[in-house]
Structure 1
Amino acid sequence: MSESARRLPSEDSADPISFAARFASSNAFNLLFAEATQLVEKTAAYLDGPGRVDSAGLRGIAALTFAQESTRLSTRLMRLMSWLLIRRAVADGDMTEVEAEQQRRKSESYAEPPPPDETLALLPDYLTDLIAVAARLEIRMLHIDASEMPDAPRPSPVRRDLTLLKAAFGSRPASLRDKP
């Protein structure tokens, strides 16, 4: 951990305590990191083992949905692990806060809404459980970001609603589909 991350501001100092540095050095962070790592391992084990068997038994739209949602899950987990590794790098002094912010802005992360119930109904239960756990973990991480940065990405209820509408009606509302 860097000296600046360990240092508390003196009474006559105007420097605020860095929540990010404190959090990344805490037991709560270590537990979150372990939880995320375990989820990545469970997901990889499932997709490389029982998930192959599950996907082989699916046909048509269900097979396509399995492939799409397992890819989305893997992408979400990569974003989550990146977030955690950046935090750890800052806490260890391997990266500055400015470098970390640049990396975070590159990924432009946001909480992608979980698939609609109709999509989840096509998937094996174990995969839907993994998707739900990953979504909850992502929301927790975004709340942590929001607690320390006023311009942090937040889950967007509008984005979620638009996603649900597109899933239900395609790219245009039903009333507009038949019109040129």
Structure 2
Amino acid sequence: MIEHECRNDNTIRLAERVVFSDSFKPLYKEGMSLVEEAAAYLDGAGRGEAKALSRSAATFYAAESMRLTTRLMQIASWLLLQRAARNGELTREQVALEKAKVRLDTSSAAEALPGWAEMPADFVNIIERSLRLQDRVRRMDDEIYGEHSLSHAAANSNPVSDQLVLLQTAFGGR
């Protein structure tokens, strides 16, 4: 189990207690079940439903399914890290290093965008549930590891802007 570091403020962090108690099991099960449900839907009924969509809605569906898959894989990664920490397989420092690679910021297209109204109800349901789960996991992560954790900082960065800054730095003086 992760050693709990001493905190000067003597704050009891409820999320940390949840992750390192039996209360974590339902969250873990919910996350992994949603991953399985989404995969089964996208490979099964969703594939057929996508074929019935208009061309623009099908493009929207494809983009949204990629966002959904990414979001769920990131949630699953976070849950697996917490389980490994809980089982004593990783130290707090190892979890912090690994979770820096996990992004809990995969958004979804706004309902107001063209194409959303054409999305199959089951697909929308899975998306909405994944967003709620991501929000819960992100709040727990912020509470356990701090709002300014590496994954939170990465969530607020813009990869394109970051690359442009690197290019300007590299070639700016020439």
TM-score normalised to the size of structure 1? Answer: 0.71
2:133 pairs, out of 124, 134, 137, with 137
1:126 pairs, out of 122, 125, 128, with 122
Q: How many residue pairs end up in the alignment?
A: 150
1:115 pairs, out of 105, 109, 112, with 109
RMSD of the alignment, in Å?
A: 3.0
2:36 matched residue in structure 1: 41
* Contact 1:23–1:29 (Cα < 8 Å) also in 2: yes
Q: 1:90 to 1:23 in 2, by over 3 A?
A: same
Counterparts of 1:42-61 in structure 2 under 5 Å? 42-61=37-56
* Contact 1:86–1:100 (Cα < 8 Å) also in 2: yes
* Contact 2:20–2:86 (Cα < 8 Å) also in 1: yes
Counterparts of 1:55-70 in structure 2 under 5 Å? 55-70=50-65
2:93 is equivalent to residue 98 of structure 1: yes
2:99 is equivalent to residue 88 of structure 1: no
Percent identity, aligned pairs only, is: 31
Runs of 4+ in structure 1 displaced over 6 angstroms? 16-20
**Which whole-Å deviations, capped at 9, do the CAs of 1:46-74 have from their partners, x for residues lacking one?**
11111111011123111111111111101
* Contact 2:2–2:91 (Cα < 8 Å) also in 1: no
2:148 is equivalent to residue 151 of structure 1: yes
**Which whole-Å deviations, capped at 9, do the CAs of 1:6-33 have from their partners, x for residues lacking one?**
xx98xxxx8x778676332323211111
Find the structure with the greater CA-based Rg: 1
* Contact 2:70–2:106 (Cα < 8 Å) also in 1: no
Gaps of 5+ in 1: 160-180
Gaps of 5+ in 2: 159-174
Aligned-pair CA distance for 1:34 = 0.9
Cα distance in 2 between the residues matched to 1:54 and 1:18: 44
Q: 1:126 to 1:106 in 2, by over 3 A?
A: same
Aligned-pair CA distance for 1:134 = 0.3
Aligned residue for 1:111, secondary structure, equals: coil
